[in-house]
Structure 1
Amino acid sequence: MQTSTTSSSAQAKGGPPKKGIFAASFVGTSIEWYDYYIFGTAAALAFGTLFYPEFSPVAGTLAAFGTFAVGFIARPLGAALFGHFGDRLGRKPMLVLTLVLTGGSTFLIGLLPTYAAIGVAAPLLLVILRLAQGFGVGGEWGGAVLIATEHATPKRRAIYGSFAQFGVPMGVLTSNLAFLAVSGLTDEDFLSWGWRIPFLISFLLVILGFIVRSKLEDAPAFEKVKKQDKVSKVPLVELVKQHPRNLVLGSLAAIAPPAVGYTVTVYMLTYGTTEVGYERSTLLALIMSSTVVWMVTIVIAALLSDRFGSKLIYAIGALTAVVWPFPMFALVNTGKVELAFLAFAVAAVVQGIMAGAQGGLFTEIFDVRVRYSGISIAYQIGGMFGGALTPIVATALFGAYGSSTPLALYVTGLSLVSLLTVIGLKVNRGSDSTPESASVKN
């Protein structure tokens, strides 16, 4: 199958409505990632005590991170389901559904009774809501990227794809800002009611996101396929049959960004406070500040990707991810605030390079008929291995060895996998079909 690269008359007249696309992609994704990241912050700071009080401090932290990881397990399932309907019905309706599901789950977590109130039912309900939250996020990223990149010409895909990528650091920024606002409370007040505030705020954010996305028009590349009656009947089956290589390699290539990201935004909150001695508010402020570097790097990397190719820029980012973990832990271990900020700022550059290239890259490795399913599943599988396991493995490794060296080695190893696999990806910058599917007959 071969589809045209010019997707709408709007483009022919000077380009698609950038402001509307940016708002739908960036604002909605920022809200979704805010919802997702506040759980990670709460898992590091409060959930072990509130929902697993019967455990030792280390075991409680592991249990809280385990609950955090459950969301990642649900994400590939959400990617498959929302990807299926996104490839059959359109990108826009799935983006509205993912926003409501994720935001609603987050709001309910803020109302959840703790173990002291209802016993073992509390952690069980927390797991259920985390599953629902992860399920919604599973379909978010792919739709948000495609609603932007499929409005763009091939030479502008990376910069349009970066609209959704801004949502990740913005989610980190706003979630940490929300917890920073309540970090001045006494430990008693924070654990009693303060931790709930960031979750309850989600209700207002979801309303904002719903308004923005309800005004959105669907991606023209998909609309063209729909008008030609070439929509895939079973996108997942077609994806596995026609794109097995890129699906596997894309999933492995997607491991490095969350491996570095969740080491900083989740694990460091526990490690920095309990093992190195930083104040909780200090670490939150440092991580929050580093997101500015993250966002600036995304823009630069996206512009470079459109000029030199997303694959090359992503590979460079993966290489920096291989190199940085050891210096990062060494700087944090000094206990000096300025050196810790340097550690987080460079980590933000590492993530930003890959994030700036990723939207354009993943759009170019799958055919438009199965693209929502393909990029969603690849991204979420990478997130599961890179994000869900990293805080758990890091906690266990430090508990076993009492040193940050095995932790750094682990993150370096994951990043090396991404570096090697991105090299093997087959991309096509000039068409809405990849080389592997260009000859597929419908």
Structure 2
Amino acid sequence: MIFGTFAAITTFLVFYLMTVFTLSWATSDLGYSKRDFLLMQLFSVLFFALFIPVSALIADSIGRRKMLIYTTIAIGIFGFAFSFFLNSGSHVLVTLFLCVGMALMGFTYGPLGTFLSELFRTNVRYSGTSLAFNMAGIIGAAFAPMIAIWLATQYSLTYIGFYLSSAAIISLFSLMLISKEDQKF
């Protein structure tokens, strides 16, 4: 359950950074109007919705764990571009940034539920999956916007990218430790 929880934290962190944090920061510090930025986010959510079924199809062919590993690596790399795109001042680049972030969210969210459920025997599957999923949400998301605002205010947007990449490393480490033999507790 612990590795399942940490394997999923990046999923929730990327979502809250791409939604709550970016809206707050863009409208208070970057000069975007709430209306314009919400429209940009609304457009990017289409990529989240689109890539959930796409990721499910890919995960069915390559495996859910591999899909999550590849996506987590991509999210870790994406973290290093966080500041560049969000600070670009270009509506087009910021919208592209939001779309890529939400697409990555879709890629990780699609196979996550099934992956977590595969970690547990049927007699504890619902409890184990629920606990891992919800604990990942709490650890990955509950304080993410506040931590991100603090990092951006005290240091810079670059450190939010480091925060995201660090979470991706933790998730990747957890995913790598979960093997087929370890599943079904």
- TM-score normalised per structure 1: 0.41
**1:346 & 1:400 partners in 2: Cα distance?**
26
Corresponding residue number in structure 1 for 2:173: 420
RMSD over aligned CA atoms reads 1.5
Q: Does 1:383 align with 2:137?
A: yes
Could you say if the C-alpha distance between residues 359 and 405 of structure 1 is closer, same or farther in structure 2, counting changes exceeding 3 Å? same
Q: Larger relative contact order (C-alpha < 8 A, sep ≥ 6)?
A: 2
How far apart, CA to CA, are the structure 2 residues paired with 1:391 and 1:314? 23
Alpha-carbon shift at residue 329 of structure 1 (Å): 2.6
Equivalent in the alignment of 1:250: 4
Match of 2:36 in 1: 282
Which amino acid in structure 2 is aligned with residue 420 of structure 1?
F
Shift of 1:426: 3.4
Contact 1:259 1:415 in 2 (8 A): no
2:115 aligned partner: 361
- CA distance, structure 2, for counterparts of residue 414 and residue 389 of structure 1: 13
Q: Give the corresponding residue for 1:316.
A: 70
Consecutive unaligned residues of structure 2, counting only runs of 5 or more, are: none
Q: Which has the higher helix share?
A: 2
Match of 1:407 in 2: 160
* Residues 356/270 of structure 1: CA separation in 2 closer, same or farther (3 Å cut): same
Q: In the aligned structure 2, how far is the partner of 1:349 from the partner of 1:328? A: 15
Q: Which runs of 5+ in 1 are unaligned?
A: 1-246, 429-433, 438-442
**Is the alpha carbon distance of 1:361 and 1:427 closer, same or farther for their aligned partners in structure 2, counting shifts above 3 Å?**
farther
Question: In the aligned structure 2, how far is the partner of 1:295 from the partner of 1:391?
Answer: 22
- Is contact 2:72–2:108 with CA below 8 Å preserved after alignment? yes
Aligned to 2:19: 265
CA distance in 2, matches of 1:251, 1:435: 14
The residue that corresponds to 1:327 in the other structure is: 81
- Asked whether 1:394 is paired with 2:148, we answer yes
Aligned counterparts of 1:436 and 1:353: Cα–Cα separation in 2: 24
Tell whether 2:91 aligns with 1:342. Answer: no
TM-score (norm 2): 0.94
Q: 1:404 to 1:435 in 2, by over 3 A?
A: closer
Structure 1 residue identity aligned to 2:158 = T
Percent identity between the aligned chains?
26
Which letter maps to 2:161? A
Residues 435 and 315 (structure 1), Cα distance of their counterparts in 2 relative to 1, 3 Å cut: closer
The alignment partner of 1:384 has SS state of helix
Q: Shift of the alpha carbon at 1:250? A: 0.2
Query: Structure 2: which amino acid aligns with 1:409?
Result: F
**C-alpha distance in structure 2 between counterparts of 1:395 and 1:409, whole Å:** 13
Q: Any conservation in 2 of the 1:364–1:427 contact (CA below 8 Å)?
A: no
Instruction: Describe the SS at the equivalent of 1:366.
Output: coil
Q: In structure 1, what is the Cα distance between the partners aligned to 2:184 and 2:34?
A: 50
